[in-house]
Structure 1
Amino acid sequence: MTAVPEQRPATADPAAAGQAGDHDLRALFGQSIAVFAALSGPAHVVETANPAFFAAIGQDRARTGVPLADLMPELAGQGFLDLLDQVYRTGEPYTGHDTLVRLGTGPQAREAYFDFTYEPRRATSGTVTGIRVIGVETTRIKHAQRLMTKHRALLEQIARQAPLTDVLNGMARSIENLSPHGVLVSILLADPDGRHLLHGAAPSLPDFYNQAIDGIATGDGVGSCGTAAHRREPVITSDITTDPAWDAFRDLAEAAKLASCWSMPILARDGHLLGTFAMYHRTPRAPEDIDLALARLFADTAALAIERHHIEQAKQAAEASAKSALEELAKTVRAERQLRADAEQRATAAAELNARMRAAAATQANRPHPEHCQLGGPTPCAKEATIKIADSWGDSAWGCTDHVEEAILNVRNVFIANEELGGLAAYLNR
């Protein structure tokens, strides 16, 4: 048996007809993501609204029969109530695109963007009796556009080989500005052996906190970041006060007013650890899918920046090494040339000395062998002249063993002059 939809009887009552129309609109927007509300009278009393409307303004305010200004006092000063008055007075609809609305007050306050229309509700006489509010929240679209703009700027920075510190700090600030939940971002860099994490960027965390965790070891149970680095997988700490991994850091986190931490490892394409990407909050909080997607996107971007930095460092090191090698080679070549020149000079000097020695020897050969030592100085030596010595200039003399030895030890370039005459033999057998 087929169910027959309920048929409402037609009515000639204009007011009833208008209410029936609003009933149809309420049914149409009931399960829609578009917000819908029907306001009545000059006070803009909320007559009816769909779940999306109350979800947007806060479920704690889901009630009707209240003037919009009382239900949403934060609208005062934002211009929306003035626009409602204008539409009610003129009967002309108003449409806004990507309009910023500040919703709520205190810790629950948030900024949202909407495309919306204020459309007058009329009686059959044409008189405006209220306003229909129809809109779509575009906050996520707006955030996605801003996110893509920031992300593209970061990629351009990486392509231009901007300093890694600038890229990471810019990334952290971009995420903090884009997040509606007051996130604080920290990026730690793995040291070469992957056993410790070093400060990379954390522009909004206290200096004492950054200094305390700079150089922490990676390992299971070492906070969220040390554990994520060790496991190579995301680690979600929704409440720092109850997570055993934070036992050693709980007082530090309390001093920094940190209540939750979601950490994700930053991995290179080959899988080795580059660092960690963490998102902190001031209140206990579990991530939503959009939070994890955001973390993954920027963790991958951070990996690109860090890998590019490592490649650039390796390139610079290789260039420096090559330059140093070339400089050392040049020094070696210069030293070899100098050694060769010195050797040539020494060879020339030796040849000249040898020639002088031969000349001195020839000259001395024609001289008679003296009977007594010629090396005594002012006091003649009476000992027999048994050994002949000469110097590099060709001067020679005969002397006794004692004076000859003294001359060899103290006078530069003196040598035994003539072996055939017994000089060397006499000296060796002294």
Structure 2
Amino acid sequence: MTAVSDRRPAAADPAVAGQAAEEDLRSLFGQSTAVYASLAGPSHVVHTANPAFLATIGEERARTGVPIAEMMPELADQGFLALLDQVYRTGEPYTGRDVRIVLSPGPHAREAFFDFTYEPRRDAGGDVTGIRVIGVETTQVKHAQRLMTEHRALLEQIARQAPLTEVLDGMARCIENLAPQEVLVSVLLADPDGRHLRHGAAPSLPDFYNQAIDGIATGEGVGSCGTAAHRRQPVIVTDIATDPFWADFRHLAEQAGLAACWSTPILAVDGGLLGTFAMYHRTPRIPQETDLALARVFAGTAALAIECHHSEQARQAAEARARAAHDELARAVRAERELRAEAEQRAAAAAELAARMRAAAAAQAAKPHPERCQLGGSPGCTAPAEVKIADSWGDSAWGCLAHAEEAIISVRSVFIASEELGGLAAYLDR
């Protein structure tokens, strides 16, 4: 039996061996998500590269046979070319971890992070002939770490009951900073009846725009947010200029420089509407799954913040009502005590007055009954004395019916005395 090996025979020619090694590396990294490129000479001409490397650069400018500085001019000011020169000159490899790089110039620039190694290529004599670049993009990992850090900070804010406006504003800025492409975030809060949406946070949208949409109704076809709130489902508008939902707001969006709006409803645990979370873009855009996942994560965070805020408001309102009830009860108790004290004082005064009246009546009973009216004043009155009146101090007089009534009306503390009863018959307080 003859064993068959798939191992490639060793090549005697060093050049052939080097070429075979390059082919092995291309095979190894050909379908990998890791980036790989082989650079030749002191000018670092791109000799070979795997699809991941070319995709990272951008298909429109990726090609071989040109110096990497020509292919990626943005590297010049970021230190990467200087490191290539250093490795080529010294023959010492270089490894970087989570190194930040800005790819693509101009408005299409994006931030990326890589773990990478620059490894020198040598000829049979040991001289450096080029550099192999091997790297793994860690952008998503880095963004995930930043996302978790920012998300944890937001949860801590919610736990310590920071003001809702502060939490929502911080959340909006966090998403805007994390997003790989420019995005403008808006949070609208639902009225208690769920029929209108109020401004919650939108740090990067123009003030005139925020003021214009503050209080918009929830309903089918009312922009992205009004429709999402009405449907209780995400509404993705990729091109505001042509979408019928934006017919009433198209001019406003154009003024604000907005071309796309993806809105996600913010729902309570019981399904009630709390608000909407929107991501605006300057150009028409279709969301990727990562965009939708980001929206879901932060819509959930916003829901937690809003529900905690509502719970805190309810707690404070209940405490305020309890304090008001306690204060009202205290006032009622004080008023009852004051009324009771006043009643006791009045009862004592009445008892004292009754005692004086009894004493006055007893004193008046001993005086003789005149024949003529004593109440006529200086002119005098010849009418018969029929009624005896007295005050609480013991003074008394007899008079006719007319003068007695006149005295009773004019003087408040006057009594009609009855000698037959031996005391006070009536008291008029007029």
**Counterparts of 1:338-353 in structure 2 under 5 Å?**
338-353=338-353
Could you state the TM-score of these two structures normalised by the residue count of structure 2? 0.93
2:358–2:424 contact (8 Å) kept in structure 1: no
1:168–1:201 contact (8 Å) kept in structure 2: yes
2:415–2:426 contact (8 Å) kept in structure 1: no
Residue aligning to 1:287 = 287
Shift of 1:104: 0.6
1:353–1:393 contact (8 Å) kept in structure 2: no
2:116–2:135 contact (8 Å) kept in structure 1: yes
Residue-by-residue CA offset, 1:36-66 (whole Å, 9 max, x unaligned): 1111111111111111111111111121111
2:416–2:425 contact (8 Å) kept in structure 1: no
Residue aligning to 1:190 = 190
Shift of 1:272: 0.8
> Which sits farther off after the overlay, 354-363 or 201-210?
354-363
- Name structure 2 gaps, 5 residues minimum: none
Q: Aligned AA for 2:34? A: A
Residue aligning to 2:52 = 52
Structure 1 residue matching 2:407: 3-state secondary structure: helix
- Sort the Cα spacing of 1:5 and 1:230 in 2 relative to 1 into closer, same or farther, 3 A: farther
Pair 1:19 & 2:19 matched: yes
Pair 1:307 & 2:307 matched: yes
Structure 1 residue matching 2:33: 3-state secondary structure: coil
Residue aligning to 1:412 = 412
Give, in whole Å, the separation in 1 of the partners of 2:195 and 2:109: 42
- Sort the Cα spacing of 1:405 and 1:245 in 2 relative to 1 into closer, same or farther, 3 A: farther
Shift of 1:231: 0.9
Residue aligning to 2:119 = 119
CA RMSD, aligned part only? 2.3
Give, in whole Å, the separation in 2 of the partners of 1:246 and 1:82: 51
Give, in whole Å, the separation in 1 of the partners of 2:141 and 2:206: 32
Shift of 1:373: 2.6
Residue aligning to 1:136 = 136
Shift of 1:193: 1.2
Structure 2 residue matching 1:12: 3-state secondary structure: coil
Residue aligning to 1:230 = 230
Give, in whole Å, the separation in 1 of the partners of 2:88 and 2:407: 128
2:265–2:276 contact (8 Å) kept in structure 1: yes
Residue aligning to 1:364 = 364
Residue aligning to 1:374 = 374
1:386–1:426 contact (8 Å) kept in structure 2: no
Residue aligning to 1:264 = 264
Residue-by-residue CA offset, 1:289-326 (whole Å, 9 max, x unaligned): 11111111111111111111111111111111111111
Q: Aligned AA for 1:313? A: Q
Residue aligning to 2:83 = 83
Structure 1 residue matching 2:203: 3-state secondary structure: coil
Give, in whole Å, the separation in 1 of the partners of 2:252 and 2:378: 94
Residue aligning to 2:321 = 321
Shift of 1:403: 2.7
Matched residues, percent identical?
76
Give, in whole Å, the separation in 2 of the partners of 1:52 and 1:107: 22
- Sort the Cα spacing of 1:426 and 1:362 in 2 relative to 1 into closer, same or farther, 3 A: closer
Residue aligning to 1:166 = 166
1:387–1:426 contact (8 Å) kept in structure 2: no
Corresponding residue pairs, total: 424
> Which sits farther off after the overlay, 309-318 or 379-388?
379-388
Give, in whole Å, the separation in 1 of the partners of 2:290 and 2:306: 24
Pair 1:205 & 2:205 matched: yes
Give, in whole Å, the separation in 2 of the partners of 1:197 and 1:153: 27
Give, in whole Å, the separation in 1 of the partners of 2:104 and 2:64: 17
Shift of 1:407: 2.8
- Sort the Cα spacing of 1:394 and 1:229 in 2 relative to 1 into closer, same or farther, 3 A: farther
1:360–1:394 contact (8 Å) kept in structure 2: yes
- Sort the Cα spacing of 1:255 and 1:425 in 2 relative to 1 into closer, same or farther, 3 A: same
